[in-house]
Structure 1
């Protein structure tokens, strides 16, 4: 049954994505915030379809910690799920992502319309310049900035190396950091065809002011995220502790 329900989800993705990708190209002349509202309709539809086909829902804790003004989101990255869900939870945002993702047919077109900050990970100096220049630009246009501090998806129960690019950019832009912990990988693992039913927990922490050194701020973000994860991880069927049992 898991395979069948997951296949239904992927079928919906295949059907809905190409029309929205074409739409993304057609609306490129529109203002960025208007493009965002149009393209994120795809996100809403796919999360609704995920709930219907796979029985996968989510609960948000700590909404009261979302500040009124612009901020940077530093979020745990376990699954493709949060790339969609965070757009529903937070104000309009832009992703910091590797430039290669924009070259993916259909999917990359939609990303392009969302005004991401696309960096070349192979050139650290250029990537840092791009972060600073485009970070200022997106902030001026009213967008929040989302960065996955570990740089890639990390399986549930594991911890990657937290990078300092996010804290450094937050310090340069003088905006608070909103840390986010979640356990999406326990239901939708990295590179997995199957999605298991259940409820993903998204926990939003109190804002962290980017004061001090990038290393100190990064450690503060990491400590909060990993400490919170320890309190609710293990609820899903794909957590290592559950599979071991």
Structure 2
């Protein structure tokens, strides 16, 4: 019961911030990208602190020293909404590869649109891949990080989907490293779950994978192997005691 009440309080507060920040989008939209990004990043950080205060969800980072200074393609597990918040606090300015339907969500989608996302139509097949490669290289050339969830959707803890090649192909074509990232957020904030359980999420950052002269398939295999091995190591350790 206590976990439900805490989760309800968090969700109510998050809704308030979505509306408040979304209402300010028209005032911020004309600003340079760095200022717009700082605005949307502040929303993510406020909600991370609110999540910690209301639900007791914290996080720790293993491998912070592996974060490079230049742009990379991040290949990461996707288990919940949580990682879309924390990556904005943990990483330099970044853009997301996402389904374009998210931009149509009132208030929330308005904020996303300001962040130069690579919003693709998943049903467009080859055209979607071409768009991702073209716009992804533009973002990387501008010094931004590109975050891609290679399995294409959220996975439950312990679940593995098919890793898609687009992120590795983009990194090879753009000449930037791939940064593999694993985490166990789904243990505390599950896929499409309302309840948020107290505990400490672990984010594991791997050594950047060089792509110069590499075959995209081999780069993808290296990233997948590191991510899945890291998942095995960190998955059991997230949740502390909680009362439902």
TM range (shorter): over 0.9
Q: Separation in 2 of the partners of 1:139 and 1:235?
A: 34
TM-score in terms of structure 2 length: 0.94
Counterpart position of 2:199: 198
Q: What pairs up with 1:29-48 in 2 under 5 angstroms?
A: 29-48=30-49
Q: Secondary structure at the match of 1:234?
A: helix
Gaps of 5+ in 2: none
Q: Separation in 2 of the partners of 1:226 and 1:19?
A: 38
Counterpart position of 1:218: 220
Gaps of 5+ in 1: 239-245
Shift of 1:16: 1.1
Q: What pairs up with 1:142-157 in 2 under 5 angstroms?
A: 142-157=143-158
Counterpart position of 1:120: 121
Kept in 1, the 8 Å contact 2:21–2:43? The answer is yes
Counterpart position of 1:26: 27
Equivalent residue in structure 2 for 1:231, among 218, 230, 233? 233
Q: Secondary structure at the match of 1:207?
A: coil
Q: Separation in 2 of the partners of 1:154 and 1:25?
A: 35
**Which range moves more in the overlay, 214-223 or 3-12?**
214-223
**CA offset digits 1:203-236 (Å, max 9, x no partner):** 0000001243222111111100000111121224
Shift of 1:138: 1.4
Kept in 2, the 8 Å contact 1:73–1:145? The answer is yes
- Confirm whether residue 189 of structure 1 aligns to residue 214 of structure 2: no
Counterpart position of 2:66: 65
Shift of 1:237: 4.7
Shift of 1:194: 0.4
Runs of 4+ in 1 over 6 A off after TM superposition: none
